[in-house]
């Protein structure tokens, strides 16, 4: 859920990208949402980035990309690429599609099993689909994974559960995430950052926390829901 100021800024950025393909300046953003300082805009942008709504394009001046919009804001997203003030034409794209069903559910790609114990090789090719309540997903870009293992049982995540994961590349400390380790192993753990290290914490005292350098871990998503069959 976004705050009012976060949503106002997100929609303003998307509008400007759709209009002329250039991100607004911090001064323009400040005026648009009624803030007095650029530091406030920086905090809003960081929050939007952490929640997966935008991303900053690396090595590019004033370059932002809108990844998704909040519910009720429409589906058309504007993207751009800007280098040192040079402009490219904006490209309209559609928000990631997930199949909606008549019974109020959404069919998500089920990417196979992910370890909640020892990391296993990442599964990236969807082979099946899994239906979840539409309210669990909203407008977020999500996929489903089947849990294998017991390292997250104290967080209420059991072997055989289906977890719903929102695609993202950043997450706040304490968030349960899908982490890709060394580009070939994926695991579901709680994220902790400390200085220049990343800890992947289990929720089972029988397992140890694993600590990595930041270049060894890439986030693939964060947990937003769980479905259990009895």
Phi, psi of 134, rounded to the nearest 5 degrees: -60, -30
Q: Which of 164, 194, 161 is nearest to 176 (CA)?
A: 164
How far, in Å, CA of 18 to CA of 133, rounded? Answer: 32
Q: Residues 222, 177: contact at Cβ < 8 Å?
A: yes
Listed residue (220, 210, 157, 153) closest to 186, CA to CA: 220
Residue 209: both structure tokens together: 């926390």
Beta-bridge mates of residue 194: 197
Strands 105-115, 120-121: parallel, antiparallel or unpaired by DSSP? Answer: unpaired
DSSP per-residue letters across 155-171: GT--TT-EEEEE--S--
Q: Which residues does the annotation mark as catalytic?
A: 151, 189
């Amino acid at each position: 859920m976004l705050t009012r100021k976060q949503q106002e800024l997100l929609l303003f950025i998307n509008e400007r990208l759709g209009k002329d393909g250039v991100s607004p300046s911090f001064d323009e953003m400040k005026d648009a949402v009624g803030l007095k300082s650029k530091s406030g805009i920086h905090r809003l942008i960081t929050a939007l980035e952490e929640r997966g709504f935008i991303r900053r394009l690396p090595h590019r001046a004033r370059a932002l990309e809108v990844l998704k919009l909040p519910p009720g804001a429409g589906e058309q997203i504007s993207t751009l690429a800007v280098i040192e003030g040079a402009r490219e034409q904006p490209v309209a794209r559609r928000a990631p599609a997930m199949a909606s069903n008549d019974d109020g559910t959404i069919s998500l790609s089920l990417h196979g099993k992910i370890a909640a114990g020892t990391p296993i090789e990442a599964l990236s090719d969807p082979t099946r689909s899994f239906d979840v309540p539409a309210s669990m997903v909203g407008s977020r870009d999500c996929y489903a994974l089947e849990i294998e293992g017991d390292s997250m049982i104290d967080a209420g995540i059991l072997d055989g559960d289906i977890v719903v994961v929102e695609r993202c590349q950043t997450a706040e400390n304490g968030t349960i995430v899908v982490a890709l380790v060394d580009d070939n192993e994926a695991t579901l753990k709680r994220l902790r950052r400390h200085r220049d290290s990343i800890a992947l914490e289990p929720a089972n005292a029988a397992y140890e926390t694993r600590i990595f350098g930041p270049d060894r871990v890439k986030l693939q998503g964060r947990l937003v829901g769980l479905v259990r069959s009895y």
